[in-house]
Protein backbone atom coordinates (compact mmCIF):
# COMPACT_ATOMS: atom_id res chain seq x y z
CA UNK A 1 0.00 0.00 0.00
CA UNK A 2 1.29 3.49 -0.87
CA UNK A 3 1.95 6.41 1.45
CA UNK A 4 -1.27 8.07 0.22
CA UNK A 5 -3.25 5.17 1.68
CA UNK A 6 -1.32 5.53 4.92
CA UNK A 7 -2.42 9.13 5.13
CA UNK A 8 -6.00 8.11 4.41
CA UNK A 9 -5.90 5.53 7.15
CA UNK A 10 -4.47 8.13 9.49
CA UNK A 11 -7.72 10.09 9.13
CA UNK A 12 -10.42 8.80 11.41
CA UNK A 13 -13.81 8.34 9.86
CA UNK A 14 -15.83 11.51 10.21
CA UNK A 15 -18.91 11.97 8.09
CA UNK A 16 -19.61 15.67 8.59
CA UNK A 17 -16.59 17.89 7.97
CA UNK A 18 -16.76 21.60 8.52
CA UNK A 19 -14.51 24.51 9.44
CA UNK A 20 -15.72 24.22 13.03
CA UNK A 21 -15.42 20.39 13.11
CA UNK A 22 -12.41 19.36 10.94
CA UNK A 23 -11.37 15.71 10.42
CA UNK A 24 -9.04 14.28 13.08
CA UNK A 25 -5.65 12.83 12.17
CA UNK A 26 -4.53 9.79 14.19
CA UNK A 27 -0.73 9.79 14.26
CA UNK A 28 -0.57 6.36 15.90
CA UNK A 29 -2.79 4.84 13.21
CA UNK A 30 -0.62 6.57 10.57
CA UNK A 31 2.60 5.01 11.93
CA UNK A 32 0.93 1.61 12.34
CA UNK A 33 -0.42 1.75 8.79
CA UNK A 34 3.01 2.66 7.44
CA UNK A 35 4.60 -0.27 9.32
CA UNK A 36 1.84 -2.70 8.47
CA UNK A 37 0.89 -1.81 4.92
CA UNK A 38 3.91 0.06 3.53
CA UNK A 39 6.38 -2.29 5.26
CA UNK A 40 8.36 0.65 6.64
CA UNK A 41 10.64 0.60 9.64
CA UNK A 42 9.29 2.31 12.76
CA UNK A 43 12.05 4.95 12.57
CA UNK A 44 11.22 5.73 8.94
CA UNK A 45 7.50 5.87 9.71
CA UNK A 46 8.08 8.23 12.64
CA UNK A 47 10.42 10.39 10.52
CA UNK A 48 7.80 10.53 7.78
CA UNK A 49 5.20 11.45 10.40
CA UNK A 50 7.45 14.22 11.71
CA UNK A 51 7.99 15.66 8.21
CA UNK A 52 4.28 15.47 7.46
CA UNK A 53 3.39 17.09 10.80
CA UNK A 54 5.84 19.94 10.16
CA UNK A 55 4.39 20.51 6.69
CA UNK A 56 0.83 20.47 7.99
CA UNK A 57 1.72 22.78 10.89
CA UNK A 58 3.44 25.20 8.53
CA UNK A 59 0.46 25.17 6.15
CA UNK A 60 -1.99 25.70 9.01
CA UNK A 61 0.15 28.55 10.36
CA UNK A 62 0.31 30.19 6.94
CA UNK A 63 -3.46 29.91 6.50
CA UNK A 64 -4.05 31.25 10.01
CA UNK A 65 -1.66 34.14 9.39
CA UNK A 66 -3.15 35.09 6.04
CA UNK A 67 -6.80 34.60 6.99
CA UNK A 68 -8.84 37.23 8.82
CA UNK A 69 -11.87 36.96 11.03
CA UNK A 70 -15.26 38.36 10.13
CA UNK A 71 -14.95 41.08 12.78
CA UNK A 72 -11.54 42.11 11.51
CA UNK A 73 -12.84 42.07 7.93
CA UNK A 74 -15.76 44.31 8.91
CA UNK A 75 -13.34 46.53 10.80
CA UNK A 76 -11.16 46.85 7.73
CA UNK A 77 -14.21 47.51 5.53
CA UNK A 78 -15.35 50.21 7.95
CA UNK A 79 -11.86 51.74 7.99
CA UNK A 80 -11.78 51.67 4.19
CA UNK A 81 -15.23 53.29 4.10
CA UNK A 82 -13.97 56.05 6.40
CA UNK A 83 -10.88 56.48 4.23
CA UNK A 84 -13.05 56.67 1.12
CA UNK A 85 -15.30 59.23 2.83
CA UNK A 86 -12.27 61.33 3.74
CA UNK A 87 -10.93 60.95 0.22
CA UNK A 88 -14.30 61.97 -1.22
CA UNK A 89 -14.40 64.99 1.09
CA UNK A 90 -10.84 65.92 0.14
CA UNK A 91 -11.67 65.57 -3.55
CA UNK A 92 -14.76 67.73 -3.06
CA UNK A 93 -12.68 70.35 -1.25
CA UNK A 94 -10.02 70.28 -3.96
CA UNK A 95 -12.69 70.53 -6.64
CA UNK A 96 -14.31 73.43 -4.80
CA UNK A 97 -10.96 75.18 -4.41
CA UNK A 98 -10.17 74.61 -8.08
CA UNK A 99 -13.58 75.98 -9.02
CA UNK A 100 -13.05 79.06 -6.85
CA UNK A 101 -9.60 79.60 -8.35
CA UNK A 102 -11.01 79.17 -11.85
CA UNK A 103 -13.83 81.59 -11.05
CA UNK A 104 -11.32 84.12 -9.71
CA UNK A 105 -9.18 83.72 -12.84
CA UNK A 106 -12.22 84.20 -15.07
CA UNK A 107 -13.23 87.32 -13.13
CA UNK A 108 -9.68 88.69 -13.37
CA UNK A 109 -9.55 87.99 -17.11
CA UNK A 110 -12.96 89.64 -17.57
CA UNK A 111 -11.73 92.69 -15.66
CA UNK A 112 -8.57 92.82 -17.78
CA UNK A 113 -10.62 92.52 -20.97
CA UNK A 114 -12.93 95.31 -19.79
CA UNK A 115 -9.95 97.54 -18.99
CA UNK A 116 -8.40 96.77 -22.36
CA UNK A 117 -11.71 97.58 -24.05
CA UNK A 118 -11.92 100.90 -22.20
CA UNK A 119 -8.32 101.79 -23.09
CA UNK A 120 -8.96 100.85 -26.72
CA UNK A 121 -12.11 103.00 -26.79
CA UNK A 122 -10.24 105.96 -25.23
CA UNK A 123 -7.36 105.54 -27.69
CA UNK A 124 -9.81 105.36 -30.58
CA UNK A 125 -11.59 108.53 -29.41
CA UNK A 126 -8.24 110.30 -28.98
CA UNK A 127 -7.08 109.29 -32.45
CA UNK A 128 -10.45 110.29 -33.91
CA UNK A 129 -10.29 113.70 -32.18
CA UNK A 130 -6.71 114.26 -33.37
CA UNK A 131 -7.69 113.24 -36.90
CA UNK A 132 -10.65 115.60 -36.90
CA UNK A 133 -8.46 118.41 -35.56
CA UNK A 134 -5.83 117.77 -38.22
CA UNK A 135 -8.51 117.68 -40.93
CA UNK A 136 -10.03 120.91 -39.61
CA UNK A 137 -6.62 122.58 -39.50
CA UNK A 138 -5.86 121.35 -43.02
CA UNK A 139 -9.19 122.67 -44.27
CA UNK A 140 -8.50 126.00 -42.57
CA UNK A 141 -5.03 126.13 -44.10
CA UNK A 142 -6.40 125.31 -47.56
CA UNK A 143 -9.09 127.95 -47.13
CA UNK A 144 -6.49 130.50 -46.04
CA UNK A 145 -4.36 129.59 -49.05
CA UNK A 146 -7.36 129.97 -51.34
CA UNK A 147 -8.19 133.34 -49.79
CA UNK A 148 -4.58 134.44 -50.15
CA UNK A 149 -4.55 133.32 -53.79
CA UNK A 150 -7.83 135.12 -54.40
CA UNK A 151 -6.42 138.28 -52.85
CA UNK A 152 -3.24 137.97 -54.93
CA UNK A 153 -5.29 137.42 -58.08
CA UNK A 154 -7.41 140.47 -57.29
CA UNK A 155 -4.26 142.49 -56.64
CA UNK A 156 -2.79 141.26 -59.92
CA UNK A 157 -6.02 142.14 -61.75
CA UNK A 158 -5.99 145.58 -60.16
CA UNK A 159 -2.32 145.99 -61.07
CA UNK A 160 -3.01 144.91 -64.64
CA UNK A 161 -5.95 147.29 -64.91
CA UNK A 162 -3.80 150.05 -63.46
CA UNK A 163 -1.00 149.27 -65.90
CA UNK A 164 -3.47 149.17 -68.78
CA UNK A 165 -4.91 152.51 -67.70
CA UNK A 166 -1.41 153.95 -67.46
CA UNK A 167 -0.54 152.58 -70.89
CA UNK A 168 -3.79 153.97 -72.29
CA UNK A 169 -3.04 157.35 -70.77
CA UNK A 170 0.46 157.26 -72.18
CA UNK A 171 -0.90 156.27 -75.59
CA UNK A 172 -3.41 159.11 -75.48
CA UNK A 173 -0.64 161.49 -74.55
CA UNK A 174 1.59 160.21 -77.33
CA UNK A 175 -1.22 160.45 -79.85
CA UNK A 176 -1.96 164.04 -78.80
CA UNK A 177 1.72 164.91 -78.93
CA UNK A 178 1.97 163.31 -82.35
CA UNK A 179 -1.09 165.22 -83.52
CA UNK A 180 0.37 168.45 -82.24
CA UNK A 181 3.65 167.66 -83.93
CA UNK A 182 2.09 166.70 -87.25
CA UNK A 183 -0.60 169.40 -87.36
CA UNK A 184 1.74 172.18 -88.58
CA UNK A 185 3.17 169.89 -91.20
CA UNK A 186 -0.25 168.82 -92.31
CA UNK A 187 -1.37 172.45 -92.40
CA UNK A 188 1.65 173.44 -94.47
CA UNK A 189 1.13 170.49 -96.79
CA UNK A 190 -2.53 171.44 -97.16
CA UNK A 191 -1.63 175.03 -97.90
CA UNK A 192 0.89 173.94 -100.50
CA UNK A 193 -1.62 171.63 -102.07
CA UNK A 194 -4.25 174.35 -102.14
CA UNK A 195 -1.77 176.79 -103.68
CA UNK A 196 -0.77 174.23 -106.26
CA UNK A 197 -4.38 173.66 -107.20
CA UNK A 198 -4.97 177.37 -107.60
CA UNK A 199 -1.90 177.63 -109.73
CA UNK A 200 -3.12 174.91 -112.00
CA UNK A 201 -6.38 176.69 -112.61
List of residues 6+ apart from 25 with CB closer than 8 A: 10, 11, 12, 56
Confidence at residue 7, expressed as pLDDT on a 0 to 100 scale: 47
Which pTM value belongs to this model? 0.34
Confidence at residue 30, expressed as pLDDT on a 0 to 100 scale: 67
One pLDDT digit (tens) per residue for the chain, 201 residues = 444 445 444 444 434 444 444 445 566 676 677 767 766 677 776 777 777 777 777 766 665 555 556 777 778 777 878 877 787 887 778 878 888 888 889 999 999 999 999 999 999 999 999 999 999 999 999 999 999 999 999 999 889 988 898 888 888 888 887 777 777 777 777 777 777 777 776
Confidence at residue 116, expressed as pLDDT on a 0 to 100 scale: 92
Neighbours of 148 (CB within 10 A): 10
CA angle 60, 39, 10 (to 5 degrees): 30
Amino acid sequence: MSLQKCVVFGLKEHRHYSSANPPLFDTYEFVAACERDAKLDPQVAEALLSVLSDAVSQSVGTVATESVTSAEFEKRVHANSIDFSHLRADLGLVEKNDFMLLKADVARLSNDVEKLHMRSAEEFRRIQANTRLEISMEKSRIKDDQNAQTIRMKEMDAQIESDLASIKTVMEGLRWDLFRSLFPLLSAAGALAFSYLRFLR
